[in-house]
Amino acid sequence: MRHAGGPLLVLAGAGSGKTRVLTARIAHLIHERGVPPERVFAVTFTNKAAGEMRSRIAGLLGADPRGLWIGTFHALAARLLRREAARLGFGSNFTIYDSDDSESFIKRLLDQRGLSPKANPPRAIHAIISGAKNRMLLPEELGARAESPLERVAAEVYAVLGAALKQANAMDFDDLLLYPLTLFREHPERLAYWQRRFEHVLVDEFQDTNAAQYRLVKLLAAEHGNLFVVGDDDQAIYGWRGADVRHMLSFQDDCSGAAGAAGTTLIKLEQNYRSTQVILDAANGVIAENARRLGKTLFTAKQGGDPVILLTAADERDEAEWLASEYARVAAETEAPYEGLAILYRTNAQSRPLEEAFRFRGIPYRLVGAVSFYERREVRDVLAYLRLIANPADDEALARVVNVPRRGIGDASLAQLVRAAGQWRKPLLETARAADRLPDLRPNVREAFQGLAGLIDQLRARYGRADPATVLEQVIAATGYGQYLAEEGPEGIERLENVQELIAGAAQWAETAAADAEGEGEPGPTLLERYLTHAALVTPADQGTGASSGVTLMTVHMAKGLEWPVVALAGLEDGLFPLARAAGEPGGLEEERRLCYVGLTRAREKLYLSWARTRYRNGRLEVSEPSRFLEALPPRVVEERSTTPTWDRAQRTAAGRARRAARAPVEVDWHAEISQDAPRYAAGERVRHRKFGGGVILAISGSGRDLKVTVEFDDQEIGAKQLLVAYAGLERDWEGA
């Protein structure tokens, strides 16, 4: 089919070739219809996917499509904002703050306002503000909706955050999506320019768009109506971070009146080129139970296939050992490389017993989802220097490297500099240049501040427009950072190797950066600024960690878009998959079912499903029931295995009936059930756990014996946990309040 123009929705099932549809469409526009590459705006959700699409388009055209705007929402928005920054009160060299930068920045704002970061964890505050931005709520709207002390503090911080970031010439991830909308609202002539600039707007993974992303592409396509979107509502799994599947479900009605379009065209791609029909039958059976979907049924020419193996294990160790043994057998009997095998799970915590079982058997594995390369301390250190060179107003970057390597500047001295910068309304680097005006500082500290400022000024003057690899090499040489790491011993040598890898990666990036040439002769950002944008927007989905080969271990969320010949989906128990909290949230259970569907459709040839009768969760042993999703599997495609006395389908069905009956609405006098002596908590209240330490209650659900609290613990490695109050042993943290 050749679509002439106007809104088009391609409903592309898992493994149906949606990437091919997008790339073929772009190549057709450029080659057959003569659309210049720079007039195409193509957006996807990972840098890896964008790179693959560009490569495929180049293959179809026989040449690189120079000038083509193709990348993630954040990358393309940043590219646009570099050109329009002055109209919004920013310099084109603005810094992009990642989550760590944003949390550190928020902590400073809390300190300035006399608010305790312990009682108001910056991570929790940042999450609340980010959620508000994704829903395009203004600070006053967040304040009006606030139901807890923590949300009220978040609204207070949100109200001053924008101006504070602008003073630092910085934007956070969410700002990258919101500021183009601000630009278009305040400068309609610029909206008209960008609408003329992009004749065609194409969106990959459309089901994952949030409110700001959808509004952005709708605005760009509003004049010509050439909005081409591809996605799968059955793979909408990011509602927790603001994505709204309703954009896809209502697209036909929403775009029916688009300019230049008689109506919206819908095309369904239902033939799967990845999996066997047995695997697809299992996936179709599970997803059919969702009510809110456009509806499709996957089929394939690969009829038949091995049955889906459903394992019942005694506990998580038993489950892990069985899977490791089975994978060793499969690899030996089929001579398949371990790289073709994967185990997926709902939460990162599930990897531990799997790792232990694989290590015991000597099976190589690759864990994805650990600390990513760009989150490593040494990488963040040297990139902070580059950020200061590109943007001298970046206070977070200066705070990170002010004593790295050691310069004799302590926290108290930095606090004095911060106070002075606040009084003078100057960035920290500019204040450091004038450190001789701060009489309370020791002479050696004043000299250290001025020496650092002079070093940054010198590097900026000499290398501000150089390629990023050269700048990195000069920073390391000028600061002595290499020697600083070497003095840390073997671990430091390993960190130094990571820095060298960063330099190599920067050089490689520069070789291909010319592909993003604008082709219009307009002054654009420097190579260094473009590289920093690239580094700031790399996501875990764009990189792997751990061994370079072996069985892949990762969460189902991380696995979206990937595939393997053999896949196991582990931990299919109610309360774990689906998560307990999801069942009580609007649309939560349907999203968990979509996530299960994503996991099932990662397998090409063989699929294993497993659950454990008991599992340690939240520090205690819990008796489990099989996931309700298993009830929807067609009996003809399943072969059951067990490491315990048989738990057959009849037992599982009976358990499912009992669970559904338990979910049926009943009249209960909750007030009569709750003891007057039972603990009562409020969101925002500080509590203490005997194992996890202090934390703040983010949310409360249930009542009586089922009362649960979600606590954001002060220890960042623990993070947020949902606890059953009856067993958690929580105490009010009066000292931390």
Residues designated catalytic: 18-19, 204-205, 235, 602
Q: Whose CA is closest to 405, among 500, 496, 476?
A: 476
**Nearest 5°: CA angle at 174, between 173 and 177?**
105
Instruction: Please enumerate in sequence order all residues whose Cβ is within 8 A of that of 491, keeping only pairs 6 or more positions apart, or say none.
Output: none
**91: alpha, beta or left? (left if phi > 0; alpha if psi -120 to 50):** beta
With beta carbons less than 8 A apart as the criterion, state whether 57 and 26 touch: yes
Q: Which of 448, 412, 443 is nearest to 432 (CA)?
A: 448
User: Judging by beta carbons within 10 Å of its beta carbon (0-12, 13-18, 19+), is residue 185 exposed, middle or buried?
Assistant: exposed
Altogether, the residues listed in the chain come to a count of: 737
Q: In what order do the strands lie in the sheet with 69-72?
A: 69-72, 40-44, 200-203, 227-231, 8-12, 265-269
CB–CB of 321/341 below 8 Å? no
CB 625 within 8 A of CB 655: yes
Question: CA of 533: how far to CAs of 162, 386, 527, 530, in Å?
Answer: 20, 11, 10, 5
Sign of the four-CA dihedral 600, 602, 608, 613 = negative
Q: If 0-12 CB within 10 Å is exposed, 13-18 middle and 19+ buried, where does residue 680 land?
A: exposed
| Distance (Å, whole) CA 31 – CA 231 | 24
- How far CA 639 is from CA of 302, 609, 642, in Å, comes to 19, 10, 10
Query: Whose CA is closest to 382, among 505, 489, 465?
Result: 505
Contacts of 679 (CB under 8 A, 6+ apart): 725, 730
CA–CA gap between residue 323 and residue 328 (Å, rounded): 8
CB atoms within 10 A of CB 358: 25
Cβ atoms of residues 607 and 282 within 8 Å: yes
The rounded distance, in Å, linking the Cα atoms of 571 and 348 is 11
- Other C-beta atoms lying within 10 Å of the C-beta of residue 565: 16
Residue 164 neighbours by CB distance under 10 Å: 16
Burial of 223 (0-12, 13-18, 19+ CB in 10 A): middle
Structure tokens at 324: 């490791």
* 266 strand-pairing partners: 9
Q: Using CA atoms, how far apart are residues 517 and 38, in angstroms rounded to an integer?
A: 9
Distance from C-alpha of 40 to C-alpha of 70, rounded to nearest angstrom:
8
Rounded CA-CA distance 671/648 in Å is 40
Token pair for 239: 């509602």
